[in-house]
């Protein structure tokens, strides 16, 4: 399956975002919106971006007791959301209940599991009582997610080869931390190019600032799409 590009629309204002996205409509299919806009504008923001012609990846990283996560997902009933994130750390039962709720309320939505946030290093994990190295912890949570029936995971590009080695092709791997060779790193440290991420088994790559801050966003998008092909 070809690797697809997702633009992380990390902007404050929906009108600024829509204006930015208009010329990109034929250039990419997916946009990611997160808590920043969701909490400011409410769930209707999902419909607005879908109406503008994009598949919406809603990055809410839900994490609570199973019943609460399932109820939250049901509150999104019918929203045109193609992907939605939950934390695998919530456990197998939470993931199962989330999938049941999604099958009922959001049948078109692929739930993605978040494993270890890339902001957590070994010392931070140890601080919350996790003695495994980050990669080992990612593996444990990825296996749990797959066994619980999850059909997608968010991961760092450096985790791709390991995760692909034991996960079936039906599990989508979605990875941020992508930088074309010519782009600035911003605050990302362990990055991969779009082409390398595609070769390593990414189903989707998430790119924000290299497009959001480009002098010519259409050209920057086309360059990434070309690399992915
Ligand atoms: O601008 P940049 O390409 O770094 O944006 C990457 C996007 O992916 C942001 O929305 C960021 O929050 C998200 N992300 C990330 N690293 C993770 C998880 C999500 O960069 N581990």
CATH no. for residue 180?
A: 3.20.20.70
Q: Is the pLDDT of residue 144 over 80?
A: yes
Going by C-alpha positions, the residue among 49, 45, 148, 172 that lies closest to residue 89 is 148
Q: Is the pLDDT of residue 1 over 90?
A: no
* φ, ψ of residue 89 in degrees (nearest 5): -60, -15
Full residue range of the structural domain in which residue 195 is found: 4-228
Q: What is the pTM of this model?
A: 0.96
Give, for 112, the enclosing helix (H) or strand (E).
Answer: strand 110-114
44-51 and 14-21 helices cross at what angle (nearest 10)? 20
Q: Quick one: which atom of ligand 1 is closest to the CA of 212?
A: 1
177 lines ligand 1 (CB under 6 A): yes
CB atoms within 10 A of CB 199: 13
206 lines ligand 1 (CB under 6 A): yes
Q: Is the pLDDT of residue 150 over 90?
A: yes
Residue with CA at minimum distance from ligand 1 atom 13: 176
120 lines ligand 1 (CB under 6 A): no
Residue with CA at minimum distance from ligand 1 atom 16: 176
66 lines ligand 1 (CB under 6 A): no
207 lines ligand 1 (CB under 6 A): yes
Question: Does 199 qualify as catalytic in the annotation?
Answer: no
**Active-site residue, selected from the candidate residues 18, 61, 74, 143:** 61
Mean pLDDT of 167-182: 94
The total domain count for the chain is: 1
pLDDT digits (tens, 9 = 90+) for 65-98: 999 999 999 999 999 999 999 999 999 999 999 9
pLDDT digits (tens, 9 = 90+) for 177-225: 999 988 888 888 778 999 999 999 999 999 999 999 999 999 999 999 9
Q: Quick one: which atom of ligand 1 is closest to the CA of 8?
A: 10
Residue with CA at minimum distance from ligand 1 atom 14: 176
């Amino acid at each position: 399956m070809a690797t697809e590009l997702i633009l992380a629309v990390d902007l404050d204002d929906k009108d600024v975002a829509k204006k930015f996205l208009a010329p990109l409509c034929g250039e990419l299919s997916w946009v990611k919106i997160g808590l920043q806009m969701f909490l400011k504008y409410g769930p209707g923001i999902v419909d607005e971006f879908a109406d503008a012609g994009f598949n919406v990846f809603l990055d809410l990283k839900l994490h609570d007791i199973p019943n609460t996560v399932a109820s939250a997902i049901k509150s999104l009933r019918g929203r045109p959301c193609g992907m939605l994130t939950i934390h695998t750390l919530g456990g197998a039962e939470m993931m199962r209940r989330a999938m049941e709720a999604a099958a009922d309320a959001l049948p078109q939505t692929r739930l993605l599991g978040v494993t270890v946030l890339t902001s957590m290093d070994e010392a931070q994990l140890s601080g919350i009582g996790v003695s495994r190295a980050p990669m080992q912890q990612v593996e444990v949570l990825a296996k749990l997610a797959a066994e619980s029936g999850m059909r997608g995971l968010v991961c760092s590009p450096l985790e791709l080869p390991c995760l692909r080695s034991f996960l079936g092709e039906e599990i989508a791997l979605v990875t941020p931390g992508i930088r074309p060779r010519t782009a600035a790193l911003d605050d990302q440290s362990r990055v991969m190019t779009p082409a390398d991420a595609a070769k390593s088994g990414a189903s989707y790559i998430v790119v924000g600032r290299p497009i959001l801050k480009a002098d010519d966003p259409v050209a920057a998008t086309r360059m990434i799409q070309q690399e992915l092909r």
